[in-house]
């Protein structure tokens, strides 16, 4: 989306300049990186044009896998789910035109890239709903993180129930929820002996925060904690 909008549509950069910046991991090109980060629409914010690109990638992947046969001549069932490989795979991927630096984690499963979904949980669910969940026979997955203030009290519980029901009506696949603040996670990271027993959803499983390695802890902390 960044290439489509900023390079081709608005011509705010030169293709050779962008390519060189990606090859050098934005060394000396921080202003360009910030433009890519802030001026190009990001998936997870109810932006149909961006979401259509994400759906196109998912559809293409499913089409390719539907043509493949296993060694026993069976079919593969696509599961739109990254487990923990988004961190390991990120180490093998260079800088990308959305402003991500080389070796940084990729987005978890169908969730938005860490910190990029900034328009609220409803917008995130709207983006999710535009992906081809019904074509992923092995299911799909996303983690949605909310600040406790969003689900506080009886009204908050009702709000969470409505969010889940609405997501189901929109045919969104598997949703995993964390209800926690960044401050509480950092407290657990700094003093695991006294505060590390808080349980969090990691990647298809839950675990005590103190038992997760630092790299995964940082990834969880960086996810957007929706307050609205």
Beta bridge partners of 143: 176
Domain shared by 25 and 71, yes or no:
no
* C-alpha of 136 from chain center: 18
Please, what are the averages of pLDDT over each run of 10 residues along the chain (228 residues)? 96 96 97 96 97 97 95 93 94 97 96 95 97 93 95 95 96 94 96 95 94 95 94
Domain shared by 51 and 73, yes or no:
yes
Domain shared by 112 and 197, yes or no:
yes
Pairing of strands 174-179, 199-201: unpaired
Its domain, for residue 17, covers 1-40
Three-class secondary structure of residue 30 per DSSP: helix
In total, how many domains does the chain have?
Answer: 2
Domain shared by 160 and 179, yes or no:
yes
Give residue 193's pLDDT: 95
What's the half-sphere exposure (Cβ side, CA atoms, 13 Å) at 140? 21
**34 within some domain:** yes
**192 within some domain:** yes
CA distances from 224 to 2, 52, 94, 120, 164 (A): 21, 22, 23, 9, 18
Domain shared by 119 and 154, yes or no:
yes
Q: Give the C-alpha separation, 142 to 111, whole Å.
A: 5
Domain shared by 54 and 27, yes or no:
no
Domain shared by 161 and 209, yes or no:
yes
What's the half-sphere exposure (Cβ side, CA atoms, 13 Å) at 132? 18
119 phi/psi in degrees, rounded to 5: -105, 15
Give residue 169's pLDDT: 96
């Amino acid at each position: 989306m960044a290439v489509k909008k900023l390079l081709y549509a608005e011509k705010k950069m030169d293709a050779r300049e962008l390519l060189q910046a990606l090859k050098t991991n934005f060394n000396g090109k921080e202003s360009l990186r910030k433009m890519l980060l802030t001026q190009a629409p990001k998936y997870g914010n109810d932006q149909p044009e961006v979401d259509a690109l994400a759906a196109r990638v998912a559809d293409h992947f499913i089409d390719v896998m539907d043509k493949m046969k296993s060694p026993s001549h069976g079919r593969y069932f696509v599961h739109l789910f990254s487990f923990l490989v988004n961190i390991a795979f990120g180490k093998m991927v260079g800088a990308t035109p959305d402003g991500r630096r080389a070796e940084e984690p990729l987005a978890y499963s169908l969730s938005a890239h860490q910190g990029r979904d900034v328009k609220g949980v409803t917008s995130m669910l709207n983006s999710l709903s535009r992906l081809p969940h019904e074509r992923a026979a092995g299911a799909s997955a996303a983690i949605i993180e909310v600040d406790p203030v969003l689900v506080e009290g009886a009204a908050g519980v009702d709000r969470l129930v409505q969010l889940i029901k609405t997501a189901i009506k929109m045919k969104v696949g598997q949703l995993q929820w964390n209800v926690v603040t960044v401050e509480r996670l950092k407290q657990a990271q700094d003093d695991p002996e006294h505060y590390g027993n808080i349980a969090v959803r990691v990647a298809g499983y839950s675990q005590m925060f103190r038992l997760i390695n630092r790299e995964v802890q940082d990834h969880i902390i960086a996810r957007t904690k929706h307050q609205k």
